[in-house]
Amino acid sequence: MRLRVRRVGTGEIDHELLWLSVSLVSFTIAAAWLVIGLPWPRCVFHELTGLPCVTCGMTRCAIQFFHGHFAAALKWNPLIFALLCGVIAFDLYAFATLTMRVPRLRIHISTKRANTFLRVSVMSAIALNWAYLLLHWHNF
C-alpha cells in the first residue's frame, strides 16, 4: 500500500468533491428527517429475532455523536462511531484541499496481499462490532 500526493487529472473523478457532497447531502437529509418528525427506521432482523443486527444503534449513535455526547455514541455502536469520526476527518481534509486547490492524497493498494489484508480487517471489524452489540443486546 502506497500513499501518493498528486493533482487530479483531466477527466478523473474528483473524489474529494464527490464524497464531501455525498456526506453533506446525507447529513442534511437525515437532520431534516428527524426535525420533521418522520418515523425512525425499523429493523426487520431485530423485530423477528429480538437480537441486534450489525447496524443496530446506528441512528442513536449518530444523534448522540452530533449532540457532542461522544461516550454515549461510542456505547451505542462503536463501529458507526469510528465511521463518523472518519467521515468528519475526511470532510475536513476534502474541504481544505478543495478550498486551497492543493494536490490530493491517493492511496494505492499495489499487492494482492495488501488487498486481502484490507478486506479481512474490514470483515473482522464488522464481526467484532456485531459481537459487541450481541453482548449488549439488552440496550436495544
Say what the pLDDT of residue 139 is.
67
Cα 26 from Cα 136, distance rounded (Å) = 28
Residue 140 has pLDDT above 80, yes or no: no
Q: Say if residues 112 and 1 touch (Cβ distance below 8 Å).
A: no
Amino acid identity of 63? Answer: I
Residue 102 has pLDDT above 90, yes or no: yes
Q: What is the pLDDT of the chain when averaged over all its residues? A: 91
Confidence of residue 107 (pLDDT cuts 50, 70, 90): confident
CA angle centred on 112, ends 16 and 82, rounded to 5°: 45
Q: Which helix (H) or strand (E) holds 105?
A: strand 104-108
pLDDT tens per residue across span 48-77 = 998 888 888 898 999 999 999 999 999 999
pTM for this prediction: 0.86
Percentage of the chain modeled with pLDDT above 70: 99
Task: Look at 1 and 49; give whichever has higher pLDDT.
Answer: 49
Amino acid identity of 121? Answer: S
Say what the pLDDT of residue 36 is.
93
Cα atoms in the Cβ-side hemisphere of radius 13 Å centred on 104: 17
